Amino acid sequence: MLFSSISFIYYFLPIVLMLYFLVPFRFKNSILLVSSLFFYFYGEPKYSILMLASSLSGYLHGLWIEKSRKSRYAKLPLICSIIFSIGILFYFKYADFLIENINWLFDLKIAPLKIVLPIGISFYTFQILSYTIDVYYGTSKVQKNFFSFAAYVSLFPQLIAGPIVRYATVEEELSQRNHTFANFAYGVNRFVIGLSKKVLIANSLGELGQVFSNLNESSILFYWIASVAFMLQIYYDFSGYSDMAIGLGRIFGFHFLENFNYPFISKSISEFWRRWHISLGTWFRDYLYIPMGGNRVGTVKWIRNIIVVWFLTGFWHGANWNFIIWGLYFGIFLVLEKVFLTEFFKKLPSIVGHIYTLFFLSISFVIFNTNNMIECIEYIKGMLGILNIPFSNAVTDYYISSYGLTLIIAAVGATPLSVKVIKKLKCYKKGEYILNILEPIVQILLLLLITGYLVDGSFNPFLYFRF
């Protein structure tokens, strides 16, 4: 079930909210657990058992870790937890990829398993791992109530596409949280904003991407437009989903951490990754990069640590070589920036850093979006004018006029400009008064507009389902 669907907005969510706020607090986690299981079952019935089994594994391993804390085998339950969780993830996500590459490497004909990827497995697996690791190191207390732990793992606002919510973030709120009108209002506003980003902007940009892929003729300019459109589409798609998840979490009394912070205003690739998919970046930093030694080791090992982390970051996104190359691409840039590029760009106007970052990000999302490297190289050739195509043509001009306004709105909306304007207006009493009146009106109008789009349109993909 998509958040951006009529069934979720007008059926599932109102029923869950009514039940949740009617029952006493001691039953609220049970309502969340049952509704989350139904939410997952609706879209992935046969893998609901897998998610429950993973939850049970995390819960039992947590108890085992706590019980073995002072024994000579204290690390054994943690190792078992990691092996079980990674093993499940590897089997369902990477087994066929491994078979395919073994067949290619050794000229074999092993039949693929044809496993359907369970929705959200990459996200809830990392959440379970963060729990068992934190319990082992004593940064989180063991959860002795299975239903509370299962509610954490399966919590529907962030279940299928994150952000990756660590147990430590919501540990206290699982047993005690406040429900206020201010939190509810903030949550509704944040949800509608995220829904608008997804339906009104991401979906429109996705349509432009489909147009490009179906064209028999193109131009250099159209290659660039399609590249930028996809880059903005995936931003609005994923950040919109994160906004909806954060908003829903706040409605139910949870404070999820931010997952995006205007990444396209970055002046370096390093800064971009401090602003993009923050929950994934910090997860790899805290649970892999730092334990490997981070930058507190020699140069060779430090470079190794970066490359390993970014290899796995790319591989986390999907069982395909383009994702691995995409991750290594960023790893190389991060090494180069830390060695000399950062100091070099400090001597130049900041606009140079912005242009450099946006240019290489555009290339990176071509790698991310194409199915193989032959297709990727062909695409990049088109962007660089190496193919025998014109700079522009009538088709390009037509689609620029059709989607130009959407691209401009998307580009401006990806900066903090609108937020700065609103904050500036709120500094004045009249401005704050007017905005307080306009906010609910705008929300209602946006929801009506979104509903119209969802009723009339069938193009409503969600890119991160495949991860």
Residues annotated as catalytic (active site), given as ranges: 317
Helices (H), 138-288: 146-154, 167-175, 181-196, 203-214, 220-251, 269-275, 278-284
Q: What are the CA-CA distances from residue 245 to residues 248, 259, 301, 433, 434 (Å)?
A: 5, 10, 37, 28, 28
Contact criterion met (CB below 8 Å) for 464 and 323: no
Q: How far is Cα 246 from Cα 231, in angstroms, rounded to an integer?
A: 22
- Tokens, residue 299: 């140069």
> Measuring CA to CA, which residue among 245, 205, 283, 100 is closest to residue 463?
205
- Tokens, residue 432: 């704050």
Residue type, 207: E
Contact criterion met (CB below 8 Å) for 368 and 322: yes
Q: What are the CA-CA distances from residue 318 to residues 332, 371, 467 (Å)?
A: 19, 11, 6
Q: What are the CA-CA distances from residue 174 to residues 91, 130, 178, 258 (Å)?
A: 31, 16, 11, 19
Dihedral of alpha carbons 98, 165, 119, 197, sign:
negative
Instruction: Give the contacts of 133 (CB within 8 A, at least 6 positions apart).
Output: 78, 82, 287
Residue 451 three-state SS: helix
Instruction: Give the contacts of 152 (CB within 8 A, at least 6 positions apart).
Output: 127, 131, 143, 165, 167, 170, 174
- Tokens, residue 7: 């069934």
Q: What are the CA-CA distances from residue 164 to residues 144, 261, 272 (Å)?
A: 22, 16, 18
Contact criterion met (CB below 8 Å) for 203 and 460: yes
Q: How far is Cα 109 from Cα 102, in angstroms, rounded to an integer?
A: 9
Q: How far is Cα 333 from Cα 268, in angstroms, rounded to an integer?
A: 9
DSSP letter for each residue of 9-32: IIIIHHHHHHHHHHS-GGGHHHHH
